Structure 1
Amino acid sequence: MYTIPLQAIVLYLISGYLHRSLSSISKILYILLMLPGTIAHETSHALAALLMGSRITEFSVIPSGDTLGHVEYTAPKIPIIGNVAISIAPLIGCPVILLLISSYFGVHFDLHSGSFDILTEIKFLLDGTHSFITGLDYLSWKTYLFLYFALTLGAGAAPSRTDILSMLPGLIIIVTAFYALNYFGIKIQYLDIIFSSLSASLSIAIIPLLAVAVIIGMLELIAVVKS
């Protein structure tokens, strides 16, 4: 529970760095590269909205302003939880797709159940990223195709500013209720399972995306040194 905000922030920052790096090269290329992730992101929102009783009024994966796509929907029938579920849907949808794709490309994740200790989680992310980078077969074309999917789906999992603003009120209420229950010694087992699963899902998105960011950062550094 405590590590999920940290993971979301890390994912948001990595995604932002990659967006800036790629869009500075070519805006059109950047949009095309991110298209699968954009589709997965907006589709995750749309499916969650339908599950929460909303009606989709507009769905677009065409860039507009600072956004690569958007979904508009009516107010969810499930209060508080509805907006939170819709907003965090890409945090689950995109990693699930990436996990399914990874089996085809022969890339394996050491699935992590999620830790409630921040230092443990940071160590896992760093160790996992190092293991991921060193474990890839760089002589195989499948590796580079998977890295592309890791880029677009990992970035697609990241919450947008709109997502953050939408989920924040409900999330504050849920977190407050969670802490209150813990304070009074009331344990709800399925909440621990949900938070642990969400943490694991975020790790699946972060590790390969962080690996891609490291590789791109190294290439940028090499380019600067050579120039």
Structure 2
Amino acid sequence: MDAGTFLLIASSGIVVVAISHFLDRIWASAVPFHAVYLFIRAPGVILHECAHILGCFLTGARIRNIVLFSQDGGSVTYSRPAIPFLGDVIISTAPLFVIPLALSVMTWFFAEYAGCVFPVFPVTLTSQATFMDLGGAISTLFFDNLVSRFNGWFLIYLYLTVSLVLSVAPSTQDMKNAAEGSLLLILAGIIVVWSGIPWAEAAAEELVRLLGYGFMMGLVFGLIAFIVSLPPAAWHLVRRGW
């Protein structure tokens, strides 16, 4: 894997997190009633916390308290995981991978049982041309389900997509918890690349490929949510006098 592809994958991960944070702020500011905002956020927050719970189970961390949803969001408090450093990374970043996976399953369900039509989305980031293909696929998605043949179930799909995308990004506390482990992983990756050991390089490349697949899924759904969020974003700007 060349440096350009790696940077493209890393950039896509940053974009996924940025879209999630940005859209959350837009909806929080644009929705006039807090209860409506909570309704929009609820499915995503609950799944976000469930992802942390799954991370705790996988890393041997003992769960102390769970708040799946409240007016202030949700939270999962836990003891130190059995896997040092890496465990905190897994727990803290679990929503970044679990939620796109859940969105993929949801997409299959709506295609199979609700009659929604979905184009073939790119599954890997290989070049900048991938983004052009992605844009075309998303345009086709909205046209096929809202213009060519209106499907009311697609509106529910969009609601759930927006809700889950708003909760993809790790919270500030999540990022603090994962900071040390993330730095160690980056350092380990650099050492592996410099080592020149074939099997270690192959393992690292496979890990990066899987990360790229997860980030690509997150990017697909993030852009769908971004398009849905354009009207409230415009309303937010109008209210601010722009």
TM-score by length of 2: 0.80
Matching of residue 16 in structure 1 with residue 24 in structure 2: no
Matching of residue 95 in structure 1 with residue 100 in structure 2: yes
Match of 1:204 among 205, 213, 217: 217
SS at 1:23's partner residue? helix
Question: Could you tell me whether the CA contact under 8 Å between 2:45 and 2:69 is conserved in 1?
Answer: no
Cα distance 1:220–1:157, how it changes in 2: closer, same or farther (>3 A)?
closer
SS at 2:82's partner residue? coil
Question: Could you tell me whether the CA contact under 8 Å between 1:125 and 1:203 is conserved in 2?
Answer: no
- Which letter does structure 2 place at the counterpart of 1:202? F
Aligned mates of 1:156, 1:109 — CA distance in 2: 25
Cα distance 1:64–1:172, how it changes in 2: closer, same or farther (>3 A)?
farther
Query: Which blocks of at least 5 consecutive residues in structure 2 are unaligned?
Result: 1-5, 112-117
Aligned mates of 1:11, 1:40 — CA distance in 2: 17
Aligned mates of 2:43, 2:213 — CA distance in 1: 22
Give the match for residue 52 of structure 1: 59
Cα distance 1:127–1:198, how it changes in 2: closer, same or farther (>3 A)?
same
Give the match for residue 139 of structure 2: 133
**1:161-218 C-alpha deviation (Å, 9 max, x unpaired):** 1122211211111111111111121242333222212221122122222222134225
SS at 1:199's partner residue? helix
User: After alignment, is 80-89 or 3-12 more displaced?
Assistant: 3-12
Cα distance 1:220–1:153, how it changes in 2: closer, same or farther (>3 A)?
closer
Aligned mates of 1:212, 1:23 — CA distance in 2: 15
Cα distance 1:129–1:156, how it changes in 2: closer, same or farther (>3 A)?
farther
Question: Could you tell me whether the CA contact under 8 Å between 1:147 and 1:208 is conserved in 2?
Answer: no
Give the match for residue 192 of structure 1: 205
State the superposition RMSD in angstroms: 2.5
State, as a whole percentage, how many aligned pairs show the same letter: 24
TM-score by length of 1: 0.85
Larger radius of gyration: 2
Aligned mates of 1:132, 1:186 — CA distance in 2: 41
